[in-house]
Each structure stands twice: as structure tokens, then as C-alpha cells.
């Protein structure tokens, strides 16, 4: 299994981010065939009260490398990736790895 981890930096406007994320971006993720599971995390402040290093994390799972490539190269996958620039004002880091 392959997992894509998307780490979102703190946005300029958290309310605008949340609205766009829920109403526009997540439906694009849902339309991308080949994603077999997804999980979304909104980080809490650190125990000392300081802000977490990242604002949100999305984890998307694929059956294997070929399925990941097929999903991400599909029109829906390309739209999902291109959409990041529309709302991720705090920057985004994307990592892929094999789940052990």
C-alpha cells in the first residue's frame, strides 16, 4: 500500500481555507478513482500552547505504486493537484511512501 501525505502550512485565512477545503477540494479528492482510503487531520496547539508546525494533514492511500500513478495522472488527479494553489496559502509539502 502507498500513502500520500499532504502537510498544509498555516493559511493566511483559516476560515477561507476550511470553507474551500470542505466545499471544493475534498470533493475533487472524492472523484479521484484509485484512492482507497483518506484521512484528514486538523492539528491542535502543542502542549506548551505554541502553534503546531503544520495546520492540517491529509493522508491518501493507494493499493500500490501503479494505482497511485494512474490516479494522480488521471484528469481528476491532475485537477486535485492543480487545485492546491487555489487555497493552500501557507504552502504545502507532499510526501509518498510505502506503508509497512
Residues 6+ apart with CB under 8 A from 26: 40
Q: Where are the domains of the chain?
A: 7-34+62-89
Per-residue pLDDT reduced to its tens digit, 46-77 = 999 999 999 999 999 999 999 999 999 999 99
Does the domain made of 7-34+62-89 have the CATH classification 2.60.40.1120?
A: no
Per-residue pLDDT reduced to its tens digit, 21-36 = 999 999 999 999 999 9
The model's pTM is 0.93
Where do the H-state alpha helices sit in 32-100? 65-73, 75-83
CA geometry: angle 56, 67, 36, nearest 5 deg = 50
Amino acid at each position: 500500500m502507498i500513502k500520500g501525505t499532504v502537510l498544509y502550512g498555516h493559511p493566511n485565512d483559516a476560515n477561507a481555507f476550511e470553507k474551500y477545503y470542505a466545499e471544493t477540494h475534498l470533493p475533487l479528492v472524492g472523484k479521484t478513482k484509485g484512492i482507497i482510503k483518506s484521512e484528514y487531520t486538523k492539528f491542535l496547539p502543542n502542549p506548551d500552547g505554541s502553534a503546531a508546525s503544520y495546520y492540517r494533514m491529509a493522508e491518501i492511500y493507494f493499493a500500490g505504486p501503479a494505482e497511485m500513478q494512474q490516479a494522480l495522472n488521471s484528469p481528476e488527479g491532475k485537477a486535485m493537484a492543480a487545485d492546491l494553489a487555489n487555497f493552500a496559502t501557507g504552502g504545502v509539502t507532499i510526501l509518498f511512501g510505502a506503508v509497512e
